[in-house]
Structure formats: C-alpha cells, structure tokens
Copies of this chain bind each other. A is one copy, B any other.
Amino acid sequence: MDHNLRLRQVQAAIAERRLHAFLVSYLPNIRYLCGFTGSAGVLVITARDKVLLTDGRYTEQAKQEVKGAKVKIVKKAALAAAAEWLKKHASLRRVGFESAHMTVAERAQLAKLIGRSASLVAAPPIVEPLRMIKDAEEIASIRAACQLGVQLFSKLTGKLRPGISESAVAGELEFAARQAGVDQMAFPTIIAAGERSALPHGRASSAPIPAEGFVVCDFGVILAGYCSDMTRTVYVGRPQSDARSAYEAVREAQQAALNAVKPGGTAAEVDHAARKLLYNRKLGEFFTHSTGHGLGLEIHEAPKIAAAQKEVLRPGMVITIEPGVYLPGKWGVRIEDTVVVTETGCEILTACPKDLLTL
C-alpha cells in the first residue's frame, strides 16, 4: 500500500479545489490514506502537514499502523481536536470537509469551534474516487479474500441438509472462516432457505432448511482488511421445471451482465444487460434490486451498478454482479460474483461453478 502516493493525490485534489486544509473524518477513508484502523480519529491534510488525531485508546495501535502521517494523541474528541489544531494554524482559511460523511450536527459543532478563524467548505468525495480504482496490492488482497470465499462455499455445501437451521449453517461457515484467518465477516451471512429465499436480505435465522427448495447463500469475508462477496443458490431436493428455468434465467442474466463489463462501458449498461434478459424471460418485475456494487475496504463502495448510473468502468475497479429474482412467499434465486475490471473485460475473482447444485 503506497500511503504516501495516496496522500499526495489528496494534496493535489485539495490544491485544485483551492482548499487550505481537508478534514478526513470517514474511517474507511482514513484507513485507506494512512493505514489507521481504529474506531475514532480525524486526519487533517494540508499542503505541508498530514496529522492523524486520535485518542489514548489508540496510542499503541496508531504507532504500529499509521504510515505517511504524524500521529497526535488527544484528550478531546477527534473533531474538536481538529478544530483546535486548525485554530493554531491561522493561515489555513478554507477548510474542506467530507460532506458525504460529516453529519449536519458535526458540521455545526465544528463551525462553532472554529469560529471566524476559517470557513468550512462542503467538499465532494475526494478519497472515494481514488479508492474506486484498486492498485495491484489491493486486487491481490481482494483476490485472496474471494478465493477463501470459494473454499468456504464448498465446505458450506457439505453442511447443508434438511432440518439443520440456517443459523447453524452460517455458524459452520463463519467458524471455518475464522480458522482460515478471517477477522470478521464482511456482512451478516445470508442463508435463506425455502420461502425465506424470497427475502433478498434474509439473514440466517433459526428456521430449519426445508426438505425441498432453494437456499440462497450470500456471504463475504474480510481478510487483511479487504472484502469478498459471493452468492450461490443451491436446491435441496428435486427442482420442478419452473424453478429450474428461473435459475437458468438468473444465470444467463448474470452472464449477460458479466459480458457487459468492460472499460469504457457504463455501470448502467451492465445493469441493463441483466435486467433486459430477465424481462425477456418475464421475470424482470421480480428483479427488485440493482445489479451490483463496488467493494474493497468496505462491502459497499463506489461504483453502483444500477440503472441511471453513468459511471464509466475503468481497469482496476472491483465490482459485484448479482442479479436475482424473488417470488414473494415462494422462492428466490441470486447468483453473484466479485470481478475486477481488466483492460479488455473482467476477471471473475470468485471462480466457482454455477451449474444448479442439487443436494
């Protein structure tokens, strides 16, 4: 991770916006820029200085983690400490803040503390556009997380059987993840069986896996800070032809979207490719969410892969492609891969069979 390069890029962006200082208050952005993983802090960036303000809980941790910035341990809340720091540097008149992350109350508090010594400027996302394009090291990290995800999925299918609870299946998966060095799951594991498979965000519950039906398995790990995300839908029992053909439609829609991922194309085009196929199969109205999202340090980051998203895809973007169809009260199917945009198209990082697995 070249933290110095990232910080220089932010310095260039703030110079371009004629800001004298920029307050980074969003923790994933702080981590991206200087490596700090604590739960409280503000990173102040000026043309001359890069200072992470955090509290005494993180003295040791900040010393170990922070690269490219000075660490200042403060007694006050980090935002109040940032205001104080700014007041001591009176030449910094135009101070940008992350308007997509700072709350209205925080902004008001900051303005009060700074007083007339500087003016606050609501800055658009400055760090997120950098984070959207992953460097080689980041792609390697996400690849490792995804490969582990694939290994875990094969263990998971060994545990899936009628009668065992969704939660127990999730527990086995998460235990195996821990044993493989995972700090934390990327989001609450979804194991949604039978009728519950029609809930796109159906967290694993105490409901038992039924004797017959789809089971949507959607999970991700965080390995060395980077997320994976994948979904496979399996069938317990023998699927009827309508279930089988819906599965095939989702699979084809997913492939159509994957085919549409290439540099120069837009996020909306990728979404449209999946949606069009499902409309042609009379399943479009049951595809009730967008096609995907970026991921990296966070499970959801830019770009969104959805209708009306004009973001142009570029090599190094890492996104999910995850169409699904959901028939309320009956069943649902979703198939999801994490992919990296390459010079010519995309590479699937969650390489794992997609033929309908029946158990």
Contact = CB atoms under 8 A, between A and B. Distances in A.
Main secondary structure of the interface of A (DSSP, over half): mixed
Nearest to A104: B99
Given A175-B174, A178-B170, A184-B188, A57 B102 contact: no
Interface residues of A, number: 48
Interface stretch (A134-142, A193-201, A212-220, A258-266): A193-201
Contacts of A350: none
A275 to B, nearest CB: 13
Contact of A328 (B60, B200, B202, B329): B60
A329 B289 CA distance: 49
Interface of A: 38-39, 55-61, 97, 99-105, 107-108, 122, 167-168, 170-172, 174-175, 178-179, 181-184, 188, 198-206, 288-289, 326, 328-329
A57 B105 contact: no
A60 B174 contact: no
A178 B188 contact: no
Nearest to A203: B183
Copies in the complex: 2
Given A55-B289, A179-B171, A199 B104 contact: no
5 contacts: A57-B201, A99-B108, A170-B178, A172-B175, A181-B206
B183 A175 contact: no
A186 to B, nearest CB: 12
A101 B178 CA distance: 33
A201 B225 CA distance: 16
A92 to B, nearest CB: 20
Nearest to A59: B328
B167 A183 contact: yes
Contacts of A171: 174-175, 178-179
